[in-house]
C-alpha cells in the first residue's frame, strides 16, 4: 500500500502526484458546471440506525443521471455499502466522500452518543488504611452497551476529613472512619462505602531482580508493607523514579509500571521509590550504556533502474545455489529472478511478466520449487495468483493461475506446507491447496465479522497465521498448530490484540530465547504522514507480549522519527530485528532480554543504512520495502534501487567498512 510518487520516462522523471494534480485540475475544469447534491437532509444517526443516504449530480442547475458513490472515512463508526445504505456502529463524527468521475464532495455525518446508562466501580480493596491512597477502577457504560472514554466523571466525598477524592478517582485517605464516595455523570451516579481503618504499616521492604544494569534492561521491584510485628499488610504500592543522566543535556528518562517493572533510557544514576502512604522505601543504582553498536558492510546490489521494486524472497535452490525473487510496483507485472550465491556479485538471471500493474508480493515454497506472485491492476480485472515453477530459477515457467474470489486484487500472499494464503479484496484471506500446483483449489477462508473490516497482510509460522487487520489489530489463527484445533481447511482464531491507532499493517512472531516470552511485533503504515503534499510514511513497531494469550499486553515500541515502518525480519537465534522504514532505510535492532518502553531511546538500535543509488529509478532516495536474513547476509529490497545485500559485523570486528555506490 504505497502512494504514487514518481513516474519515469525516457527524458525526465515527473512526480506522479503532480500528474494526478494536473489530471484532476483538468477534470474539474471540464466538469466545472457539475456538482454533487446530498439529497438526504437528516444526517444524524443513532448507534444501530440503518438507512440510505441519497445523492445526485446537478449540471447547469438540472439533475442528471449519474451513479454517485459514497465512501466512509471511518468504517468502524459508520459503514456505507455500494447502494448508499449506511449503518451506524459507534458514536462520533464521520467524514463521507461522495464522488463521480471528475467531481467529488465531502460532508460529515454525526452518529449520536447514546445516553450514559451505568457507572461501574470494581476492585475496591477489602482493607483501606488511613494515609494510604487507593485508585478507583471504573467504567462508563452507555445505553448501547459501549465503554465510554469521552466523558468526565465527577467524584465527591461525603466527609473530606476522612477521605478526599480527585477528578481521576484517586482516594486520599486522611483518618479512620466511614465515608461515602459518589461517582456521577449527568444524572447517573454510583455510591460506594469505604471503611477507612487505622494504618498498621510500620515500614516497607523493597527488593529488586534484574539480569543486567544497562539501558533497556528491565528491573523488577517488589515491595512488602509490614506492621510492627513483621506481618505483611495488603496495601496498594505506588512506584516512582527519578535520576540524573550522565549526559547533563538530557533527562534521565525511563518507564516504570505500577507492577514494579522499571527500565531506563539513558545512562546515569537512578532511584526507584516505593510508597504506601506514609511509608516509603528506595533503592539507588547506576545504569550503563547498552553499547550494542556494530558496523554494516554493504556487500552487493542488484540494480533495478527501469521500475519500482516491491517485495523480495531469498532461498536455496535444489542445486545448492542461492536465489532471490523481487516484484515490481505500479509497473508492468514483471518479477525478476536473481542469483545471490555470491552476495557481492548479484546477477539478474530471469524474469517473468504477467497481466498486472503491480506484483506486490512474492513468496517461495520451503523446497524452492514453487513461487507464487500476487497480481493487482490486471487488464481484465481478474487479479489473482500466478504459480511458478522455480525448480530452475534460470528458466522460470508458469504452472497455473488462480483468480477465483480474488478479482478484487491480491495484495499479499504466503506459502506454507502446500497451501497458499492469499488476501482477497483487502477484506479476508483464502487458503488454497497447491499440493497439485497445476490444479489449485480453495479449501477455506478467514474473515472477520466486524463492521468495515479490512486486512493488509498474513504471515504463517508453526501452524499459526498472523494477520494484520488494520483497525481490528493482530489476529492469531490456528491453521495446523493444534492450539485451537485448527487446520488449513478449518482456520480457528484464538487470540488477538487491537491498538488505538488502527494502523496495523504487518505482524511477525518472535519467541525470546533469553526470556521465553512470546511476542508479536506489529507494524503500522500511515500515508501521508506530513502536510503540504509530502508522502513521507509514518508509524512504528508495537511489541506485544502474547505470553498470556488471553491477556496480550503492548509493552514496547521502536519508532524512527520522520519515517514509517514497513516489513521486517527476526533472527531468533541472535535476538535481532531487521526492519525497513521506507525513507528511514534499514534498521538493525537488539531485541534481547525482556522488552519494555522506547527501544530506540534505550540505545537498542545496532545500526542503520540508507540505500541510495545515483542510477536508481529515483536517484539517491531510500525507500526500503522489506528485509530477509539468509546465511548470514541481510538482503533487502528498495523501491528506487532494487535488491541489496549487507553484512552486519560481529561486535568485536572493527575492520569492516561502510560502503555505498
pLDDT at 501: 83
Residue 423, pLDDT score:
96
E strand intervals along 453-517: 457-461, 464-468, 474-478, 492-497, 504-511
User: Mind giving me the DSSP string for 332-352?
Assistant: SSEEEEEE-SSGGG-EEEEEE
What distance in Å separates the CA atoms of residue 590 and residue 651, rounded to the nearest whole number? Answer: 12
Residues 391 and 370: their CA atoms lie apart, in Å, by: 7
The answer to whether residue 387 scores a pLDDT higher than 80 is yes
The pLDDT of residue 1: 45
In 3D space, the residue among 479, 459, 478 whose CA is nearest the CA of residue 469 turns out to be: 459
At 599 the pLDDT is 98
Residues of the chain with CATH 2.130.10.10: 296-648
Q: How many CB atoms lie within 10 A of CB 278?
A: 11
CATH 2.60.40.10 domain range(s) in the chain: 203-287
User: Whole-number mean pLDDT of the chain?
Assistant: 91
Fold of 116-197: Immunoglobulin-like (2.60.40)
Region 330-353 average pLDDT: 98
Q: What is the pLDDT of residue 534?
A: 63
Contact 545, 552 (CB under 8 A): yes
CB of 192 within 8 A of CB of 181? yes
The enclosing H or E element of 22 equals helix 16-30
Question: Hey, what's the cell of 27?
Answer: 477534470
Burial (CB count <10 Å: 0-12, 13-18, 19+), residue 78? buried
Tell me the pLDDT band of 535, cut-offs 50, 70 and 90.
Answer: low
* pLDDT tens digits along 395-404: 999 999 999 9
Cα 422 from Cα 442, distance rounded (Å)? 10
| Beta-strand pair 597-598/553-558 | parallel
Output the pLDDT for position 28.
Answer: 40
Residue 533's pLDDT band (boundaries 50, 70, 90)? low
Question: 203-287 belongs to which CATH class?
Answer: mainly beta
DSSP run (H or E) holding 441: strand 441-446
State the pLDDT at residue 364: 98
% of the chain with per-residue pLDDT over 70? 92
pLDDT of residue 233: 93
Residue 199's alpha-carbon distances to 84, 157, 174, 276, 555, in angstroms, are 64, 20, 10, 10, 35
**Distance (Å, rounded) from C-alpha 173 to C-alpha 132?**
6
C-alpha cell at 626: 522489506
Q: Which pLDDT band holds residue 610 (cuts at 50, 70, 90)?
A: very high
First-to-last alpha carbon distance for the chain, in angstroms, is 28
Residues, the chain, total?
A: 661
pLDDT tens for 120-134 read 999 898 899 999 999
- The yes-or-no verdict on residue 636 having pLDDT over 50 is yes
Burial of 547 (0-12, 13-18, 19+ CB in 10 A): middle
Half-sphere exposure of 545 (CA within 13 A, CB side): 16
Q: What is the CATH architecture assignment of 31-111? A: Sandwich (2.60)
Coil, strand or helix at 90: coil
Instruction: Read off φ and ψ for residue 343, nearest 5 degrees.
Output: -60, -20
**Burial profile 155-176: b = 16 or more Cβ within 10 angstroms, e = fewer:** bebeeeebbbbeeebebebbee
Find cell 529472478 and name the residue: 337
Judge whether residue 10 has pLDDT over 50. no
Q: CATH 2.60.40.1080: which residues of the chain?
A: 31-111, 116-197
Q: Find the angle CA(217)-CA(218)-CA(224) to the nearest 5 degrees.
A: 145
Cell of 588: 538493525
Alpha-carbon span 396 to 323, nearest angstrom: 12
Q: Tell me what pLDDT residue 452 has.
A: 80
Number of Cβ within a 10 Å radius of residue 599 = 25
**Is CATH 2.130.10.10 correct for 296-648?**
yes
Amino acid at each position: 500500500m504505497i502512494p504514487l510518487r514518481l513516474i519515469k520516462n525516457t527524458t525526465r522523471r515527473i512526480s506522479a502526484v503532480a500528474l494526478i494534480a494536473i489530471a484532476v485540475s483538468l477534470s474539474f475544469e471540464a466538469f466545472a458546471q457539475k456538482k454533487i447534491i446530498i439529497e438526504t437532509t437528516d444526517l444524524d444517526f443513532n448507534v444501530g440506525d440503518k438507512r440510505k443516504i441519497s445523492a445526485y449530480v446537478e449540471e447547469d442547475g438540472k439533475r442528471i443521471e449519474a451513479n454517485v458513490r459514497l465512501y466512509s472515512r471511518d468504517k468502524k463508526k459508520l459503514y456505507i455499502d455500494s447502494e448508499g445504505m449506511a449503518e451506524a456502529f459507534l458514536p462520533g463524527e464521520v467524514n463521507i466522500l461522495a464522488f463521480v468521475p471528475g467531481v467529488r464532495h465531502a460532508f460529515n455525518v454525526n452518529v449520536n452518543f447514546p445516553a450514559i446508562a451505568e457507572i461501574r466501580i470494581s476492585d475496591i480493596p477489602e482493607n483501606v488504611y488511613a494515609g494510604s491512597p487507593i485508585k478507583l477502577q471504573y467504567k462508563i457504560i452507555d445505553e448501547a452497551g459501549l465503554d465510554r472514554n469521552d466523558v468526565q466523571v465527577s467524584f465527591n466525598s461525603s466527609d473530606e476529613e476522612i477521605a478526599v477524592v480527585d477528578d481521576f478517582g484517586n482516594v486520599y485517605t486522611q483518618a479512620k472512619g466511614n465515608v461515602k464516595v459518589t461517582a456521577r455523570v449527568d444524572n447517573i451516579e454510583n455510591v460506594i462505602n469505604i471503611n477507612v481503618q487505622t494504618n498498621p504499616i510500620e515500614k516497607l521492604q523493597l527488593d529488586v531482580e534484574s539480569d543486567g544494569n544497562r539501558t533497556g534492561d528491565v528491573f523488577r521491584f517488589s515491595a512488602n508493607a509490614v506492621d510492627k510485628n513483621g506481618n505483611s499488610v495488603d496495601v496498594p504500592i505506588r512506584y516512582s523514579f527519578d535520576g540524573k543522566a550522565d549526559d547533563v543535556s538530557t533527562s534521565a528518562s525511563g518507564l516504570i509500571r505500577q507492577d514494579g517493572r522499571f527500565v531506563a533510557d539513558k545512562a546515569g544514576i537512578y532511584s526507584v521509590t516505593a510508597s504506601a502512604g506514609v511509608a516509603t522505601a528506595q533503592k539507588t543504582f547506576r545504569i550503563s550504556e547498552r553499547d550494542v553498536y556494530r558496523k554494516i558492510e554493504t556487500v552487493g546490489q542488484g540494480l533495478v533502474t527501469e521500475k519500482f521494486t516491491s517485495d523480495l524472497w531469498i532461498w536455496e535452490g535444489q542445486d545448492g545455489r542461492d536465489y532471490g525473487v523481487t516484484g515490481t510496483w505500479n509497473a508492468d507485472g514483471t518479477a525478476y529472478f536473481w542469483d545471490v550465491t555470491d552476495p557481492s556479485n548479484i546477477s539478474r538471471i530471469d524474469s517473468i511478466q504477467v497481466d498486472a500493474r503491480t506484483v506486490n508480493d512474492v513468496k517461495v515454497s520451503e523446497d524452492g520449487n514453487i513461487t507464487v506472485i500476487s497480481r493487482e491492476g490486471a487488464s481484465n480485472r481478474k487479479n489473482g495468483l500466478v504459480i511458478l515453477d522455480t525448480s530452475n530459477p534460470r528458466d522460470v515457467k508458469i504452472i497455473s493461475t488462480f483468480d477465483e474470489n480474488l478479482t478484487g486484487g491480491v495484495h499479499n500472499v504466503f506459502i506454507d506446507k502446500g497451501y497458499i494464503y492469499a488476501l482477497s479484496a483487502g477484506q479476508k484471506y483464502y487458503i488454497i491447496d497447491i499440493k497439485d500446483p497445476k490444479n489449485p483449489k480453495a479449501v477455506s477462508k478467514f474473515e472477520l465479522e466486524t463492521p468495515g473490516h479490512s486486512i493488509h497482510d498474513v504471515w504463517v509460522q508453526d501452524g499459526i497465521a498472523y494477520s494484520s487487520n488494520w483497525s481490528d489489530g493482530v489476529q492469531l489463527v490456528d491453521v495446523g498448530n493444534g492450539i485451537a484445533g485448527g487446520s488449513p481447511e478449518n482456520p480457528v482464531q484464538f487470540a488477538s490484540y487491537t491498538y488505538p491507532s488502527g494502523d496495523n499493517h504487518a505482524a511477525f512472531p518472535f519467541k525470546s530465547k533469553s526470556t521465553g516470552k512470546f511476542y508479536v511485533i506489529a507494524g503500522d503504515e500511515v500515508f501521508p504522514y506530513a502536510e503540504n503534499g509530502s508522502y513521507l510514511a509514518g508509524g512504528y513497531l508495537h511489541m506485544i507480549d502474547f505470553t498470556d494469550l488471553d491477556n496480550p499486553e503492548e509493552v514496547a515500541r521502536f519508532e524512527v522519527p520522520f519515517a514509517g515502518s514497513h516489513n521486517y525480519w527476526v533472527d531468533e537465534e541472535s535476538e535481532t530485528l531487521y526492519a525497513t522504514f521506507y525513507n528511514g532505510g534499514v534498521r538493525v535492532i537488539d531485541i534481547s532480554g525482556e522488552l519494555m518502553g522506547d527501544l530506540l531511546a534505550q540505545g537498542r538500535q545496532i545500526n542503520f543504512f540508507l540505500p541510495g543509488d545515483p542510477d536508481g529509478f529515483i536517484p539517491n532516495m531510500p525507500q526500503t520495502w522489506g528485509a530477509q536474513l539468509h546465511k548470514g547476509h541481510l538482503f533487502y529490497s528498495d523501491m528506487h534501487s532494487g535488491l541489496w545485500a549487507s553484512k552486519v559485523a560481529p561486535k568485536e570486528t572493527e575492520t569492516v567498512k561502510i560502503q555505498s555506490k
